[in-house]
Amino acid sequence: MRAAVFFEPGKALEIRELSLDPPREGEARLRIAASGVCRSDLSVTTGTLRSPLPVVLGHEAAGEVLETGPGVDGLAVGDRVIVSLSPECGECLFCREGRPNLCVQMAPGVMNSSMLDGTTRLRDGSDSIYQLCGIASFAEEAVVCARACIRVPDEVPLERACLLGCGVLTGVGAALNTAAIEPGMAVAVIGCGGVGLSAIQGARIAGAETIVAIDVVPEKLELARELGATHTLDGGSEVRRELRKIARLGVHVAIEAIGRTETIETAWSLLRPGGLAVVVGMPKARETARIRVGGFFQEKRLAGCVYGGAHAKRDIPRLLDYVRSGELRLDPLVSHELPLEAAQQALDDIARGAGARHVLVLG
Ligand code: APR
Ligand code: ZN
Ligand code: ZN
């Protein structure tokens, strides 16, 4: 089967014919129908996120089950599924505390680009190839953790459902779980890519009264309006001053969905007393942001947000319901549908801020 392999920084992804070992205990082999291209895939190629190499990128996937390994319950050949990033083991400290988005079993995939047992199923001849997030969906097939597979109803196409595996769950989850936006609130979302546009939809679904979208690309702002933003601001302007013309005291919730320290600082500066800044974007882990501490005496709060603070097994089916009712719109998020060969082009586009979400359609 073919896959797009990232060998080293500065080199374009290469389409290679790879072999895939059969699924082991608790795993399933999928035909990948579609894979969204997320900024985190780009971040691996730039070194912002670290992964062992060579690696097959892609972690926002939907597909059809081709084969299950031993000990797999509740998943059958032919099932159409989204692959979540969290195996939700149900047993670790975090799962038991109701925070499966921090499940310790995510670590092998996220830190080491391997399966739960630390190995990988992908081979190029006799060489092992790593699998981003234990998924590796820039490929025609993938072996993944069966527990991470969540069924998709027939009426939702896999070319859209895949987005729920990362970007949409992350953005909507930031709004509904981490920020717990309430009706009537004023919200600002900085960065209107796949994640930010989903946060805007989450804010709309939660009943926010004022939703200010901030981006540097005019087309993104147009899309933001279509998806629920009530106001838009050019990120290159004096955002803090401009925002106060819209929400005099500042916003209840500011969501950063880019991954830059400057915009994390901006998010903090947009809050009203008692407001909450939610950081979804991922800069390099060692970077530092500077915020005015006076805000703490106005009870401003700063919160991290991983994978939308989501309980994927609970929230992905909920989001699928919102998709079916039309409240959560996926079509406008997809600016490009591309074949596997165009994976590098999709990464280049994201780096330039072009397009909302790119989806690789693999057949
Ligand atoms: N001010 C405002 N908007 C900006 C700025 C800026 N200074 N710089 C970039 N942007 C906009 C881009 O124009 C783009 O629309 O931020 C958006 C980022 O979107 P994507 O690159 O599509 O990123 P996305 O996949 O949505 O992920 C956002 O969440 O999960 C994390 O790693 C991911 O850090 C990334 C973030
Ligand atoms: Zn992602
Ligand atoms: Zn766990």
Q: Mind listing the pLDDT tens digit for each residue in 83-97?
A: 999 999 999 999 999
The verdict on 80 and 14 lying in the same domain is yes
What range does the domain containing 14 cover? 2-151+330-361
Show which of 271, 291, 306 is a domain's final residue.
306
Tokens 């608790």 belong to: 26
* 85 and 202 part of one domain: no
Percent helix, strand, coil in the chain, to 5, is 35, 25, 35
Side chain identity, residue 301:
R
| Residues 183 and 133 grouped into a single domain | no
The reply to whether 193 and 80 lie within a common domain is no
Cα 92 to ligand 2 centroid, rounded to whole Å? 23
- Residue 175 and residue 114 share a domain: no
Q: Is residue 323 part of a domain?
A: no
Evaluate: CB of 354 within 6 angstroms of ligand 1: no
Q: Examine the fold and report which residue of 267, 291, 306 is the final residue of a domain before the chain moves on.
A: 306
Select from 41, 60, 258 the residue to mutate for testing ligand 1; criterion: most ligand atoms less than 8 Å from CB.
258
Q: Does the beta carbon of 306 sit less than 6 angstroms from any atom of ligand 1?
A: no
* Ligand 1 pocket check for 220: Cβ under 6 Å: yes
248 CA distance to ligand 2 middle (Å): 34
Specify the pairing of strand 251-256 against strand 271-279. Answer: parallel
Please name which of 135, 126, 194, 125 lies closest in space to residue 160, comparing C-alpha atoms: 194
pLDDT of residue 353: 87
For residue 195, what are its two tokens?
């994640």
The answer to whether residue 292 sits within a structural domain is: yes
Among residues 166, 214, 159, 210, the alpha carbon closest in space to that of 191 is found at 214
Helix, strand, or coil here: 87? coil
Q: Is residue 53 part of a domain?
A: yes
Give distance in angstroms: CA of 228 to centre of ligand 3.
34
Here the CATH number for the domain that contains residue 202 is: 3.40.50.720
C-alpha span between 115 and 104 (Å, rounded): 13
Q: Answer yes or no: is pLDDT of 112 > 90.
A: yes
Query: Does residue 146 sit in the same domain as residue 175?
Result: no
Give per-residue pLDDT as tens, 320-344: 999 999 999 999 999 999 999 999 9
163 in any annotated domain: no
Q: Is the peptide bond before 218 cis (omega within 30 degrees of 0)?
A: no
Using 50, 70 and 90 to split pLDDT, how confident is the model at 237?
Answer: confident
Structure tokens at 337: 């549908």
Q: If we measure between CA atoms, which residue out of 108, 117, 121, 126 comes closest to residue 52? A: 108
Q: Are residue 205 and residue 284 in the same domain, yes or no?
A: yes
Task: Give the span between the Cα atoms of 328 and 3, in whole angstroms.
Answer: 31
Asked if residue 224 and residue 127 are part of one domain, the reply reads no
Please give the structure tokens belonging to residue 266.
Answer: 């901006």
Q: Let me know: does 351 contact 259? Beta carbons within 8 Å.
A: no
The predicted structure's pLDDT at residue 342: 98
Query: Which of ligand 1's atoms lies nearest the C-alpha of 214?
Result: 2
In a domain, 315, yes or no: no
Q: Tell me, what CATH number does 108's domain have?
A: 3.90.180.10
Alpha carbon of residue 187 to chain centroid: 20
Are residues 288 and 237 part of one domain? yes
pLDDT at res. 322: 98
In-domain check, residue 353? yes
What is the reported pLDDT for 121? 98
Spatial distance between the Cα atoms of 323 and 157, rounded to a whole number of angstroms? 11
Ligand 2: centre distance to CA 76 (Å):
26
Considering every ligand atom shown, identify the ligand nearest to the alpha carbon of residue 311 and give its number: 3
Residues 142 and 253 in one domain: no
238-252 pLDDT per residue, tens: 999 999 999 999 999
Assigned domain for 79 exists:
yes
Per DSSP (E only), the strands in the chain are 2-6, 14-17, 19-20, 27-37, 55-56, 60-68, 80-83, 122-124, 127-131, 141-145, 149-151, 186-190, 210-215, 231-234, 251-256, 271-279, 301-304, 334-338, 357-361
Number of domains within the chain: 2
Q: Residue 47 CB: number of other CB atoms within 10 A?
A: 10
Indicate the pairing of strand 301-304 with strand 271-279. Answer: parallel
pLDDT at 363 over 80: no
Q: Is residue 28 part of a domain?
A: yes
SS3 for 82? strand
**pLDDT value of residue 33:** 98
> Mean of the pLDDT values across residues 17-44?
97
* Token pair of 22 as six digits: 């059969």
Residues 271 and 336 in one domain: no
Confidence at residue 236, expressed as pLDDT on a 0 to 100 scale: 86
pLDDT in tens, 289-316: 999 999 999 999 999 999 999 999 999 9
Q: How far apart are CA 308 and CA 272, in angstroms?
A: 23
Three-state secondary-structure class, residue 139 = strand
244 close to 270: Cβ distance less than 8 angstroms: no
User: Do 132 and 181 fall into the same domain?
Assistant: no
